Amino acid sequence: MDINKIREQFPILNRKIKGKDMIYLDNTATSQTPMPVVDAITDMYTQTKANVHRGVSTISQEATDMQEATRRRVAQWINASSEQEIIFTRGTTEAINLVASSFGNLLENGDEIILTTMEHHANIVPWQLLGQRKRIILRIVPINEVGELNLNAYRSLFNERTKLVAVCHVSNVLGTVNPIKDIIDFAHSNSVPVLVDGAQAIPHIKVDVRDLDADFYAFSAHKMYGPTGIGILYGKKRWLEMMPPYQGGGEMIANVSFDNTTFAELPFKFEAGTPDFVGIAALNKAIDFIEEIGYDNIAAHEHALLTYTTERMLKIPGMKIFGTSENKSAVISFLIGNEHHYDIGMLLDTLGIEVRTGHHCAQPLMRSLGIEGTVRASFAVYNTFEEADKFIAAVERVAAMLK
Ligand code: 7TS
């Protein structure tokens, strides 16, 4: 794997922050976008912009073909049984809201949903909103001291009212890679379906939805080198067919009259209005980017960066890293002594290091850790050991400054 060749595809990596070389370590929030994806967006805006699924014009048919080529590609890539199981949304957040709203319609007062302590707000609040419409009880799986789910507790939460498990594949704060297949197997042995929030898994781990036997799998394009504003909801056809539409409008209907409206076939039943067809077309190039490098190479490189950086950081006095599971993706959440995460992040920024600080949209997790926030550095395939060295030196400097 030639990192320099990879980096050449990302002009943004050459920019400066406050006069210093930028070191971008906020890949968990969003990854950067390689030129083939940017070029695909420009090409479509300059050559093929026409609304999709709108009749016989050549340009509309071309645009439609480009959008639908990505749908087929995604289906193949995650090994869905059919492209009808791939729904385009605005992001992971909208994908989960879709399930909460639509699958939620099938639930009854008193039904229970199992979540975990390490969920992003995107996989908490939609279920709470559903709980305002119906009396839904949320059961929460706790974590242990290294930031892994307590699977005994998980198994003990099931009862005859359990109707869904909604769990992240990888934690955006702790980096923990959850044993998602075991989690799904156990839920299925209780006839309970599982929604997997795959936002932090898909950039790093090969996902095979049929091997996992996930009922729903949600992710965002912008975290996997793709464009912003696009998410994917994979859903098993048998659930999607049972579920009512999420939003109403154009494209999702078969026939409309003021007396009676019938709905389109899957996946269009869940895609009201004009989608971001430009971004969807360009998403194909992000999958090319990942496949050309290969998940094995991505994972090996990121894991080496994680191990290298973690070992050195732990030598810094007062360093505390949150999330130390053996099976961990390249996310390092940390604090130094009693310093505020915000101060550490501000000082790192003056050195060109772009990290995220705060609660990372996981306030219940922060509460369980007894903290308000962390500083979080997260790696992507284009990050280098030289950048890791500069980051570590910067953290050492900031630690010394704050002493
Ligand atoms: N689920 C997880 C596990 C996430 O990490 C995120 C975003 C989302 C859902 C929501 O994704 P969206 O694309 O719909 O916004 N996580 C982060 C983060 O860690 N920092 O900024 C966004």
Domains and CATH numbers, the chain: 3-30+294-401 (3.90.1150.10), 38-291 (3.40.640.10)
Counting beta carbons within 10 angstroms of the beta carbon of residue 166, is it exposed (0 to 12), middle (13 to 18) or buried (19 or more)? Answer: buried
Ligand 1 touching residue 119 (CB < 6 A): no
Distance 74 CA to ligand 1 centre (A): 20
- Residues 193-242 have pLDDT tens digits of 999 999 999 999 999 999 999 999 999 999 999 999 999 999 999 999 99
Percentage of the chain exceeding pLDDT 90: 99
Ligand 1 touching residue 168 (CB < 6 A): yes
Q: Sort strands 319-322 and 353-354 into parallel, antiparallel or unpaired.
A: unpaired
Mean pLDDT of 93-102: 98
Residue 367's pLDDT band, with cuts at 50, 70 and 90, is very high
Percentage of the chain exceeding pLDDT 70: 100
d(CA 100, CA 84) in angstroms, rounded, equals 20
pTM over 0.95? The answer is yes
Ligand 1 touching residue 29 (CB < 6 A): yes
Mean pLDDT of 356-362: 97
Start-to-end Cα distance in the chain: 40
Distance 316 CA to ligand 1 centre (A): 29
d(CA 73, CA 288) in angstroms, rounded, equals 10
Query: Whose Cα sits closest to atom 15 in ligand 1?
Result: 93
Residue 1's pLDDT band, with cuts at 50, 70 and 90, is confident
Q: What are the E-state strand segments in 293-336?
A: 319-322, 331-336
Ligand 1 touching residue 28 (CB < 6 A): yes
Mean pLDDT of 264-280: 97
Q: Which residues contact 181 (CB under 8 A, 6 or more apart)?
A: 211, 212, 213
The DSSP code sequence of 238-269 is HHHHHSPPSS-STTSEEEE-SS-EEEPPTTGG
Mean pLDDT of 20-44: 98
Instruction: Identify the pLDDT of residue 386.
Output: 98
For helices 385-402 and 341-350, give the axis angle rounded to 10 degrees. Answer: 120
Catalytic residue among 69, 361, 371, 402: 361
Please compute Rg for the chain using Cα positions. 22
d(CA 222, CA 232) in angstroms, rounded, equals 11
Residue 92's pLDDT band, with cuts at 50, 70 and 90, is very high
Pocket test for ligand 1, best of 92, 177, 376 (most atoms within 8 A of CB): 92
Ligand 1 touching residue 374 (CB < 6 A): no
- Residues 303-330 have pLDDT tens digits of 999 999 999 999 999 999 999 999 999 9
Instruction: Identify the pLDDT of residue 55.
Output: 81
Q: What are the E-state strand segments in 177-303?
A: 194-197, 216-220, 231-235, 253-256, 261-263
Residue 403's pLDDT band, with cuts at 50, 70 and 90, is confident
Q: Mean pLDDT across the chain, nearest whole number?
A: 97
The DSSP code sequence of 358-369 is E-TT-HHHHHHH
Instruction: Identify the pLDDT of residue 73.
Output: 98
168 is catalytic: no
- Residues 38-56 have pLDDT tens digits of 999 999 999 999 999 988 9
